[in-house]
Each structure stands twice: as C-alpha cells, then as structure tokens.
Structure 1
C-alpha cells in the first residue's frame, strides 16, 4: 500500500509539474500571442486540434456597454481599429536606407546593421567593433555614418541612449538659438534637470523637451501591437461592477481520444494535451483573480477617480508567488473599461524608489502645501509622515524632495520666506 501511495504522489506531482511548465509561458504571453506560445506544446501532438480565437472582429466580442461609454484615450485611441496592423518601424526605416543619407555601399551596409540591431525602444545596441573589424573600417568611420540617423524619421531612432536620442530630436526641433545651449546642457544632465529652473530660457527648453518621443519608437510600439484586452471591467444595468474574461479570444483545444486505449503513445499525448488545457484554465483563473484584485484596490478609478498606490508585492503575497512572476504575468496584458483600454501595469505605476503609484501622492502633496501654516510650513519629514499615514506605504524623505522639485514646490524654509513677502 505504501508503494501505491508513493506512486500516486509521484504521478500527481508529475501531472502538476507538467501543467506548471506549460502554464508559465502561456501566462506570460499576451492574448494576441497566446497561439504562438502554445505552438511548442502542440506541434508534436497528433491528438490536439487548436482553433484560433481571432476569427471574428474585436468589436463583436466586447460588451457594448464598454464601447458606448468609452472615452477617447491617448494610450489606446480607436477601439474599433485595435487589431489593424499599420506600417512597422522597419518598413519606414527601410525606405530611408539609401541616398541621400546613405549613398555608398558601405554607408548603406552600416545603416542596415544599425537598423538590424535596434532594441524594442529604437535604441542601437549592436557590436560596432566586431562589425568594423569584419568590414575593414574604423570605429570613427562607423560612428560618422551612424550619426546620420539624426536625420532619419522617426527622429531619435538609432541613438545609443536617451540623451543622444534627445540630441537628435533637438536638432530637428523649433527651439530658439538663445535656448539651444541650455537645452544641450539639460539633456546631458537630465538627472538634475530641475536645478536649471532659474535659467532664463528654462521654460522654453522644457516645452521643447516635452514634445520629444521617449522612447523614440513609441509611435510604432503602439501602432504595430495588436491590443486585445484579457479582461473587461464594466458596470451592468444595475450599476454593479462586472469583471469578465475575454475568453472569446482564447484558442479552442479539441482532443481526439478515439485510439487512446490501443496505443501507449497516443495515451501519453492525450495526457499532455489535457495538461495544456489545464494550463490554459490556470491562465484564465489567475488573470481573473488579478482583475478582481485590481477592482478591489482601484475601485475609485473605475468610478472616475485616480489610480491609487498598489504594489506588485501585494498581489504576489495574495498569490504566493514572487513579485517578478506577477510582473511578467501582467506584462502585455490589457483591461478594457469605460475609461478606455489600459495596460495592466498602469495599475501598478512605479516610482523610482518605491513600487507605488505616485499620481495620487503628488496630488495629496500639493493639497498639503496649499493648506499648510504660513508661519510654520511643513518640512519634508512631516510631509513624509503624513503621506505614509494616508497611503499606508513606506517611503523615504528624498522621494518627497524629488516630488517637490518635480512639482516646482520650494523647500519649507524657502516657502516660509516667500510667505513673509506677501
């Protein structure tokens, strides 16, 4: 009997490990890439037939209540055209890889190498030295050609980092000659951008920088991606909030069990197929639970308010997973609601020092300063205490100082002097 129990335990554990092995890549993929993520599990399985969930128009599958109440949203734009593919970034770049910018064979070869080695944000990350050695040219010659990407559309593409991308875009901007030197200085020292706020042309510099694309490929990231939400959150006729899985887009798995008894090979493939079905069900259950928790913590947002502080650790603790697992789970996932279509990660907006949403904190900080005593303005430490008490989050004083600078709020001693002047 002991042997039998041990065998059952091993079999159960084996079944669970198979499901989990299938589940992670299926969970981490976006809904539009789900079929591709499943391919390795089904390509060698003759008993599985998969039918894609992308055979109907998107609008037919989303509750009309969401479409009717949806407002224009700059992060998503036209709901009706979410699955329409536009020209890709590489299509646009390929048209420019010739004269007049790259008229010679070597310049065109360098340009093609740069394009082939752009990361997802449009930054160049190739092995320049290896390329130069192979082509018999110097690194200086290579860089001279690469820098011509400052004149390629979209401007900023092909830069090695944000600073260089902004310099590319600066040369194509409408900035005045008077403000240009300050803009160059600010771009090279963006960590301390607000230390230049007293400079004469700072306002113009900030206006111009605010028009720059960051990252440089952002327009094509949004346009080329098939944005299909995993969850739909809306209010029903009785104004009760509903969380619904967009399972109409999930692939349908059919398993042929006709010859299972006669062939051990087929029996094994059927077990693997059932494990895949279990993994798909686990994906649905996990994301549905994420949706319920987002509604619980962000209910104010769905009723017209702001996104509130919410840490990935909060979700991870609920699920019993590592925060990094949750981070990958919500990547490339979207929620449709009557305020538009938002990436799940937006409900976990992070600051530099804390994994919390800072929009509401900044608004609260502004409110505290507006209502403070002019005789005794609130210090950063006092502001920190009040914010931590209000939002139940752990922060550090330097973050409050950083938020103040971003909001153009002076320190407590400077504010006291300003109050005395009025």
Structure 2
C-alpha cells in the first residue's frame, strides 16, 4: 500500500472542559475564605458585578451604577452616556469613575462612609474618645485595632539583645545569620561548618557567637535538639548539676518511662528523681513559640445542623459564608449603546457572560453543599443522636449514589467545608470512615473512627495494676462483635499517640 497524503472527515465526541465548567469546579472545592477572596477579585475586575449586603437584598432591584449620577441622567431625558467616560471605565474600572466625580464617595455609595474630615476641637470634650464628627454625629466605625501595639517577633526580640551583647560588626553579621536561621520554635537546624564557609569566617568564631546567643531570652533558644534546649533552660535556672546532666544525657529513658535504669544512671533515690522529672516537665520544649505566633483564624462552619421539631435534623447553609453578587443589567444596557467599536462590545458582552456564570456557579455551589450535607446527616443520624460510638462507615460512593452525583463532585464538596452540629464542628470529610467488619453474628460493620474512640476509652479507663495489652484489646473487641487484627489495634494506638502497654505501665505507676 502506497504512502500518500489525503484529507478525511471524521465525526467524534469528546468531553471538553469549558472555562465556565472549570470555574464551577474551582468554586466548588474552595473554602469559604478562599471563595470570599475570589469573589472580591471578580468584583474589582468585572464592572457588571454588584455586591449586595444583608439578607434582604433583592436580585430584581440591583442598585444602579452611579447612584445620584444615574438619577441625574434619567431626569435629563435619558441622554446617552459619554463615550469618554465609557472608555475610561473600560480601561481603569470604577477608580476612573470615582476620580471624575467631584463629590465625596460616601454620597455615591451609601453603604460606604466618605472620607472623614478633621474633627472640630470644640466638639471634643475632655476624656471623650475620638469620634468621626464630619457629619455632626458620632460614627460607629471607631477602629480600636489602629491603636494595638505591633506584635514583637522572635527575630526582632533577639536582634535587640544581640546589639547589646555584641559590638564587633563581624560578630553581628554572624549573629544575624544565625537568628534568621531559627525555626518558629527557636531551634537552630543549621550546620555550623556550612554557615562558617558561607560567611567566610572561622568555625570557632561562629561557635563563640552561638555561645553568646544561647544566653539570650527566652532561655533555650538556639538549641540544636531537645536535650540542649532543656540544658540551656536548666543552666539559666542554675539547676544543671551532675545528676541533672545525667538525666538530660539519657532523656530517651525518660521518654520510655524506664525509671529504674534512670535512677541508677543519675545516682539518686526515688524522691529526688521525681523532683528532677517535675523540673523537666516545667520547662518549655518550644521556647520560641511564644513570639510572633501566626494569627489563628476562627473556624466558620458552612452548614448548621439543628434538632427539628419533628424529631429529625434541620440542615441549613450559613448565609454569612455565602457571597452575594448581582448582575447589573441596567448598567450593561446603558453602556452597550455607547460602545464605539467591536472591541468594547466584545469586552462588555464577555463581562456580562462571566458575571452571569459566576452568579449561577455560586448558586449551584450552595445547592450542592446543602444536598451533600443533608445526605451526610441522614446517613450519620446515629452519631448526631448518640455520639461517636455510633458513627457509621461511609464512603463517597454511597453519598454520590444517593444524590445522583459523581464521586469527584462529592469529594470536592467535602473538602475544606465544616458542619456545626450539636456535638461540635467537624469537617465534612470526618464523617467518611472506612469500615471494619463484624464477627459472625456481630451485626453491621463498624466505623474505623468509632473503633479508635472505643480503644481510647478502654485505655483511659484501664487499671494501673492491670494494663491492657494489644492482644487483650483485640479479645475484648471481638467479644463485642468487632473483627479486628492486632496490628490494626497497634496502628490505631500509635496514630492516637498512645504508648505501648509497657510504657503505659511505667507512666501510670510513676503517678501512684
């Protein structure tokens, strides 16, 4: 058969990810914080999007862009909008509109306060706090956070001490390098030889500077490991004697609760050893964590679950986490008439399409979250009613089949979403747990999470004189109809950071 070039016409079907579909998928897996940031960016980029505030916002009564300026245009006989203004709006967005209006922005957008004027000293009385008196009345937007002192970071605190302790410029350079190499807990995980080679100085000088830095507050910073961190704190308290030094050198024996060997190594009796252990427990293993701690964002639930009057559960979305956007059709109808070329018309048409898709995607996202959450509540009714011991084994396929959706959609919905229940706030993924089969005649399968909870309860309630081994736990669980292997019990115990039976026996005997 001869090789030749020819044209063929074929018909085929394929699934194409359109930009709108990609946007809907992206919004579906976002957390509420990421979603708010994304919507804010779209509001700045798209001139046809409007943000509505409050629960009484009506989609059919979107505020007209321009406020008083729009009313003035309507009263003047619906004169066309200036093309120069349109071109400026297309290029620079709402900032160009604000720049061209010779009025205070508080008059144009009623929801946003204008620029406050300087207060009249005659209106301020002695002892009164500062208030916005630009309009003759006190404002509720008084921001106390503006007067909060800046939080001191660990690096800034150590640099202040370094400038007092070190005078040589080279030593300060070495000290700054070591300070910037600390982790958030105050530990120094840097090879000193590499640091000396990088700075072009002798290793002895780096060690000398490090010795000075290790005397700084908080005690224990610049340690290379836990033992050195505890040692530095004991030296600062003048409690680093030979017995304590032996204890620090054998800190792994303390972790294993091998008190008999530790007592012989330190050469002390039981009473002295208990006092030494108490001093070790009073130390801070992470001395740098008290400085510059990152701001902890509150966990805002996406779904609320409350008991209903009929004995069931009422599931509703948290409206505070749902951004509300409106498509300003009035503004689009006005400016599309003044478009001077196809480029402007294409931009406006694309902005309208993007705005419509965003509003539709947000609505679909809310409906999907509510649908998935309602089915999860229906499946986990026993957990909500009786507690974690009644958590059922559940997977994505079960939820997807119940609500006629794909598993990938359910997976995206349950990512970074939280549900507030009478038993606490849980991530939606928490309710999905693998199953552990029951023994013959033991009934339904058991959730792995409920089994872990059962193991923890058994260990916490065990008698110090009768510590439960993994084999004993397996026997008890099998008697209760849970078919589980010993290695699975050990894996669950280690995941919950619970020591072995030998370690627990040593620890509980030391507390008697």
Distance verdict in 2 for CA 1:11–1:290, change over 3 Å = closer
Tell me, in whole angstroms, the C-alpha distance in 2 between the residues paired with 1:113 and 1:291.
Answer: 46
Contact 1:362 1:403 in 2 (8 A): no
Tell me, in whole angstroms, the C-alpha distance in 1 between the residues paired with 2:15 and 2:47.
Answer: 26
Tell me, in whole angstroms, the C-alpha distance in 2 between the residues paired with 1:6 and 1:202.
Answer: 79
Q: Identify the residue that residue 314 of structure 1 maps to in structure 2.
A: 395
Which of residues 416, 431, 454 in structure 2 aligns to 1:360?
454
Contact 1:47 1:257 in 2 (8 A): yes
Aligned-pair distance for 1:232? 3.0
Q: Deviations over 1:222-267 (max 9, x none)?
A: 8542443333333356664433322223322222234377723222
Greater alpha carbon shift after TM alignment, 144-153 vs 250-259: 144-153
1:20 aligns with 2:87: no
Tell me, in whole angstroms, the C-alpha distance in 1 between the residues paired with 2:290 and 2:454.
Answer: 25
Aligned-pair distance for 1:122? 7.5
Which of residues 337, 343, 356 in structure 2 aligns to 1:274?
356
Q: Identify the residue that residue 46 of structure 2 maps to in structure 1.
A: 45
Aligned-pair distance for 1:362? 1.9
Distance verdict in 2 for CA 1:379–1:408, change over 3 Å = closer
Contact 1:229 1:246 in 2 (8 A): yes
Q: Identify the residue that residue 73 of structure 1 maps to in structure 2.
A: none
Q: Identify the residue that residue 329 of structure 2 maps to in structure 1.
A: 257
Tell me, in whole angstroms, the C-alpha distance in 1 between the residues paired with 2:374 and 2:226.
Answer: 37
Contact 2:304 2:419 in 1 (8 A): yes
Q: Identify the residue that residue 420 of structure 1 maps to in structure 2.
A: none
Contact 2:372 2:413 in 1 (8 A): no
Tell me, in whole angstroms, the C-alpha distance in 1 between the residues paired with 2:432 and 2:275.
Answer: 31
Tell me, in whole angstroms, the C-alpha distance in 1 between the residues paired with 2:193 and 2:53.
Answer: 45
Tell me, in whole angstroms, the C-alpha distance in 2 between the residues paired with 1:224 and 1:392.
Answer: 41
Q: Deviations over 1:50-78 (max 9, x none)?
A: 4678xxxxxxxxxxxxxxxxxxxxxxxxx
Contact 1:234 1:338 in 2 (8 A): yes
Q: Identify the residue that residue 491 of structure 2 maps to in structure 1.
A: 399
Aligned-pair distance for 1:282? 5.0
Distance verdict in 2 for CA 1:223–1:294, change over 3 Å = farther
Contact 1:306 1:360 in 2 (8 A): no
Q: Identify the residue that residue 234 of structure 1 maps to in structure 2.
A: 306
Tell me, in whole angstroms, the C-alpha distance in 2 between the residues paired with 1:396 and 1:232.
Answer: 34
Which of residues 98, 106, 121 in structure 1 aligns to 2:173?
106
Q: Identify the residue that residue 93 of structure 1 maps to in structure 2.
A: 154
Based on CA coordinates, which of the two structures has the bigger radius of gyration? 2
Q: Identify the residue that residue 442 of structure 2 maps to in structure 1.
A: none
Greater RCO, CA 8 A, separation 6+: 1
**TM-score, normalization: structure 2?**
0.48
Q: How does 1:285-296 map to 2 (within 5 A)?
A: 285=367, 287-288=369-370, 291-292=373-374, 295=377
Q: Say which SS state the counterpart of residue 274 (structure 1) adopts.
A: helix
Q: Identify the residue that residue 123 of structure 2 maps to in structure 1.
A: none
Count of residues in correspondence between the two structures = 356
Q: Say which SS state the counterpart of residue 275 (structure 1) adopts.
A: helix
Contact 1:49 1:255 in 2 (8 A): yes
Aligned-pair distance for 1:110? 2.8
Which of residues 380, 396, 418 in structure 1 aligns to 2:470?
380
Contact 1:232 1:245 in 2 (8 A): yes
Contact 2:420 2:426 in 1 (8 A): yes
Aligned-pair distance for 1:96? 1.0
Distance verdict in 2 for CA 1:251–1:215, change over 3 Å = farther
Contact 2:49 2:325 in 1 (8 A): yes
Q: Over the residues paired in the alignment, what is the CA RMSD in angstroms?
A: 5.9
Q: How does 1:188-203 map to 2 (within 5 A)?
A: 193-194=255-256, 196=258, 198=260, 199-200=262-263, 201=273
Tell me, in whole angstroms, the C-alpha distance in 2 between the residues paired with 1:382 and 1:273.
Answer: 62
Tell me, in whole angstroms, the C-alpha distance in 2 between the residues paired with 1:149 and 1:293.
Answer: 57
Distance verdict in 2 for CA 1:51–1:197, change over 3 Å = farther
Tell me, in whole angstroms, the C-alpha distance in 1 between the residues paired with 2:382 and 2:234.
Answer: 40
Which of residues 239, 245, 250 in structure 2 aligns to 1:185?
250
Aligned-pair distance for 1:157? 7.2
1:284 aligns with 2:371: no
Contact 2:315 2:373 in 1 (8 A): yes
Q: Identify the residue that residue 246 of structure 1 maps to in structure 2.
A: 318
Tell me, in whole angstroms, the C-alpha distance in 2 between the residues paired with 1:294 and 1:164.
Answer: 49
Tell me, in whole angstroms, the C-alpha distance in 1 between the residues paired with 2:396 and 2:376.
Answer: 9
Structure 2, unpaired ranges of 5+: 1-8, 55-144, 167-171, 264-272, 338-344, 401-406, 435-446, 506-512
Distance verdict in 2 for CA 1:307–1:150, change over 3 Å = farther
Q: Say which SS state the counterpart of residue 157 (structure 2) adopts.
A: coil
Aligned-pair distance for 1:407? 6.0
Tell me, in whole angstroms, the C-alpha distance in 2 between the residues paired with 1:264 and 1:401.
Answer: 62
Q: Identify the residue that residue 74 of structure 1 maps to in structure 2.
A: none
Distance verdict in 2 for CA 1:295–1:255, change over 3 Å = same
Q: Identify the residue that residue 133 of structure 2 maps to in structure 1.
A: none
